[in-house]
Every structure is written in structure tokens, then in C-alpha cells.
Amino acid sequence: MVINLKHKKLLISLVTIITVLIVAFVGAGFYFFNVACVPSHKSFISANTKVVKKSDPLAKEKKWYFAQPKKHWYLKSASQNYRLDANYLPDKKSKKTVIILHGYMKNKDEMSAYASLFHQLGYNVLLPDARAHGQSQGKYIGYGWIEKADVKKWAKQVVKKNGPHSKIVIFGVSMGGATTMMTSGEKLPKQVKAFVEDCGYSNVKAEIEHEANSLYHMPAFPRFPLVEILSGINRVKVGYFLGDGSSVKQLAKNKRPMLFIHGAKDTFVPTKMVYANYHASRGPKQLWVVPGAKHAKSFETHPKLYQQHVATFLHKYVK
């Protein structure tokens, strides 16, 4: 009788501890979901600004962009019926258009230097704000997995507005780079001729696990269960498990040309990710690991070489 009472108390204690742990992990999972997937100011992301410093190696390109008159294009998102916003800078003599995709918690104006680069190469330039970013509506950040369907719609709009002889390039940096790779595996208009991705991650889950370790110095436990819980919350709220958001799997379906660019000193999206991405793609491809460049700083670190690599690659495939 005494033994049974002790066992009962022990069982109650174990159940209580397990329940408390489950509640704590689920609560932490919701906290990290808000940090990772709900748009808001992020302390680990530099603030958006339109101020161009004289010391900026891309100051000339950025000033050019902000001085240009811009048209606004609008689109309904592929799901949830959000109103998406984009800037459009035409080159009236060209049938070539580039769709430029920004990074996590950034916006279209922060891609100003890239807009100038492509305009100098003779492209019409379309700069969308991803859903839940900039002037576009949206509730959650999809890390490219949800946004790839929106990019497909933007490509179709380019064809509709600029005609069936359009030649489209899709370009992106960081999350925009991952979105570019994820889009490459979709069934796209034939007018999409090539892709250029800069420092995109190989998988959403892998990137979030890396950041959990890098930003919070979180060991394997509790990192693993927390990311799994976050993934489950993401499935309910956003529509996919984090592990499903794979650039590598999408690239395996891509047969179009792609230029891969990654900074040799990138610690935010580890440089090693680009090798998995590069090897997965089935189309013509080229890899440039940029010496001395940190995350999303390849153009800034080597402006002339960057333009040369992009121009040389695209000249082969977009006439």
C-alpha cells in the first residue's frame, strides 16, 4: 500500500514535469515563430534606409535609382488574395526584363543598386515587394516557399504587359536568392530564360536551425524540439513544414541556366550551402564564390567584377 502510494506520487510528479516541459516548449515555439515568420522589426536585421552615404561603393547606382521616375505594378498574390506592389523601370528599347527579389525583412527600394546594374545591361526592371514586406500585404513570411507562386504570376504579368517576345531573368539576394531557386523548379512561362541567385539558402529549416545556433547559441537540445515545434506551427499557419522549403529539391527540377553567387565569408547563410544548391541544378550553370564578401555584400565588395560576371553569364543565354 505504501509502495503503491509512492509510485502514484512519482507518476504524478513525472506527468507534471512532462506537462510543464511540453507547455514550455510549445510556448517557446510560438515565440520563435513570431520572431522568424511574423513581419516586424528584427534586431538581427539592419534597419531599412534610403540614405545613401558618400562612402558607399554603390552610391552612384543607388542615387540613380532613387532619381528615376517609376511605374507601379500591382498583383493579387497566388494565395490569400493579398495586394502585392512593385516598382517598374522600363527600358523602352528592350524586350528583356529582370524580376529582382529582395531579402528577409527588406523591400524593393533596398535593391536599388541591382536595379541600376540591370538597367545598364539593357533590361526593364521589375522590383516587387514580397508578401508581408514593404508595401505588399501579407501576414506571414514564407521564406520563398510560398512566394515562388507569386513570382510565377509576376513573370506572367511581364509577358502580358510587354508581349510574348519578352525575355525574362529572375534575380534575387538572400531570401530573394532562395526564392529564385525555389521558383526555378516551377512550371514557368517559356519567356523565362535564366536565373541569377546571390547567397540563397539550401533549405528553410536548415537556415533557421543555423540561425538558432548562431544568434542564440542554442545547443542541439533544446534547438531540435523547438525547431520541430516551430515547423508544426508554420504548417498550420503558413501552409508548409520548414523542411519542405527546399531550394535543392526545386533546383533538381530546373533545366534553365543559373548563375550562383555567394560570399566566401558569409556566416549568415553559410557559404557551404551554395555547393549543395549548385550541384542540384540540372541546367547550364556557373558558380562564383566571391573572395572576402560577407552576406549579401558581394556586389558591394567587388562592384566591377560582379557586373562582369552577371553580364557575361546572361549574354550567353539572353540575347
Task: Using alpha carbons only, give the angle 115, 276, 103 rounded to the nearest 5 degrees.
Answer: 30
Least Cα distance to 256 among 239, 273, 238, 281 occurs for: 281
For residues 194 and 314, the answer to whether their CB atoms sit within 8 Å is yes
DSSP 8-state assignment for residue 203: B
- Domains in the chain, ordered, with CATH? 1-38+204-240 (no CATH), 58-202+245-317 (3.40.50.1820)
The tens place of each residue's pLDDT in the chain, 319 residues long, gives 445 777 777 777 777 777 766 777 788 889 999 999 999 876 667 666 667 888 899 999 999 999 999 999 999 999 999 999 999 999 888 999 999 999 999 999 999 999 999 999 999 999 999 999 999 999 999 999 999 999 999 999 999 999 999 999 999 999 999 999 999 999 999 999 999 999 999 999 999 999 988 888 777 777 888 999 999 999 999 999 999 999 999 999 999 999 999 999 999 999 999 999 999 999 999 999 999 999 999 999 999 999 999 999 999 999 8
Residue type, 93: K
Least Cα distance to 174 among 141, 219, 138, 135 occurs for: 141
The edge-to-edge listing of strands for the beta sheet with 83-89 is 71-76, 83-89, 124-128, 96-101, 167-173, 192-198, 258-263, 285-290
In whole angstroms, what is the distance from residue 223 CA to residue 142 CA? Answer: 21
The region that residue 22 occupies, defined by phi over 0 for left and psi between -120 and 50 for alpha, beta otherwise, is: alpha
**Radius of gyration, CA atoms only, the chain:** 22
In whole angstroms, what is the distance from residue 272 CA to residue 201 CA? Answer: 10
For residues 38 and 239, the answer to whether their CB atoms sit within 8 Å is no
